[in-house]
């Protein structure tokens, strides 16, 4: 199977890297703060915004927005500089990271908000916290904190700017079910297609095919969720169905509630 192409296109990216052989890359809070310091310095140089992050002991998640095609340069500076710091501090040599890094281009807002949920719920999955915003090395924890300052490179975070909107925090708190995690994995493995407007991901069906058998309201709502899972945006679906964006958002939110209720999350 061919390697999925890495996309350096300006825009939103989910980036993950792990310690070699899944070993710890942070041994203290000081190490995690140093990593964030290095990230912010690189953001300033390459004009990158941080929209979310989570630093676990043996890996990290960054949700970033690049303004030019420089993702590789940005990540090389972060991983290289932190490895130098870590090796010097702990008197070691050799590779720190498992590989270069993994990244996924984020082509729409629904995908973005699913990733906010995924990233912020990482500490819960690892049994390091019970609720979102409790684990200190996530962006949401600093947003909620009254005595911890948000890092400079995340001051324009979409998560920070929208957390007060109705329903956002409620959506973030909804645990990702096994079905949703599988759908997220499928979405991340979709083939990226380059168009004259940038990159998008291949879709399994047209909107006409998604909705051609929707005779009832419930069938239509189910088709809306299926279309979103097929990488269509809420705006595209709203326009096709001649509904408002808020109506589509309400249907999606109710679906998330129903799924999580069934799976006991």
The answer to whether residue 49 sits within a structural domain is: yes
Percent pLDDT > 90 in the chain is 58
pLDDT tens, 47-72? 999 999 999 999 999 999 999 999 99
Q: State whether 230 and 191 are in the same domain.
A: no
Specify the range with the lowest mean pLDDT, choosing from 26-30, 218-222, 257-261.
Answer: 257-261
How many domains are contained in the chain? 2
Among residues 202, 218, 237, the one where a domain terminates is: 202
Asked if residue 259 and residue 180 are part of one domain, the reply reads no
Domain boundary among 202, 217, 252: 202
pLDDT above 50 (res 2): no
Residue 159 has pLDDT above 80, yes or no: yes
Question: What DSSP string runs through the chain?
Answer: -PPPPP---SEEEEEEEEBGGG--S--SHHHHHHHHHHHHHHHHHHTEEEEEEEE-SSEEEEEEEESSS-HHHHHHHHHHHHHHHHHHHTT--S--BSSS-EEEEE-SHHHHHHHHHHHHTHHHHTTS-SSTT-STTBHHHHHH-SSSPPPGGGTT-HHHHHTTSTTHHHHHHSPPPHHHHHHHHHHHTSPEEEETTEEEE--SS-HHHHHTT--SHHHHHHHHHHHHHTT--HHHHHHHHT--HHHHHHHHHHHHHHHHHHTT-
- Asked whether residue 63 falls in the same domain as residue 148, the answer is yes
| Within-domain flag for 157 | yes
Do 263 and 177 share a structural domain? no
pLDDT for position 241: 94
Do 193 and 242 lie in one domain? The reply is no
Do 193 and 228 lie in one domain? The reply is: no
Range of the domain at 82: 11-202
pTM reported for the whole predicted model: 0.74
Tens of pLDDT, residues 171-190? 899 888 887 888 788 777 76
């Amino acid at each position: 199977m061919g390697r999925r192409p890495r996309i350096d296109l300006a825009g939103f990216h989910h980036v993950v890297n792990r310690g070699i052989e899944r070993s710890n890359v942070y041994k203290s809070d000081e190490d995690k703060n140093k990593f964030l310091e290095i990230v912010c310095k690189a953001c300033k140089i390459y004009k990158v915004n941080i929209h979310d992050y989570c630093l676990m002991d043996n890996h990290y998640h960054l949700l970033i927005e690049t303004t030019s095609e420089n993702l590789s340069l940005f990540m090389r500076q972060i991983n290289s500089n932190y490895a130098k710091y870590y090796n010097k501090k702990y008197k070691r040599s050799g590779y720190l990271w498992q590989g270069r890094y993994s990244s996924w281009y984020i082509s729409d807002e629904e995908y973005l908000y699913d990733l906010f949920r995924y990233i912020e719920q990482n500490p819960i999955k690892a049994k390091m916290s019970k609720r979102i915003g409790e684990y200190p090395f996530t962006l949401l924890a600093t947003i909620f904190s009254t005595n911890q300052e948000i890092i400079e490179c995340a001051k324009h975070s979409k998560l920070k700017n929208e957390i007060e909107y109705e329903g956002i925090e409620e959506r973030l708190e909804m645990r990702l079910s096994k079905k949703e995690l599988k759908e997220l994995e499928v979405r991340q493995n979709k083939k990226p297609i380059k168009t004259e407007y940038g990159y998008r991901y291949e879709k399994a069906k047209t909107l006409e095919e998604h909705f051609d058998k929707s005779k009832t309201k419930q069938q239509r709502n189910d088709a809306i969720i299926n279309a979103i899972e097929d990488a269509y945006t809420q705006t595209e679906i709203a326009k096709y169905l001649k509904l408002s964006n808020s109506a589509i958002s309400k249907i999606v939110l109710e679906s998330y509630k129903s799924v999580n209720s069934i799976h006991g999350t």
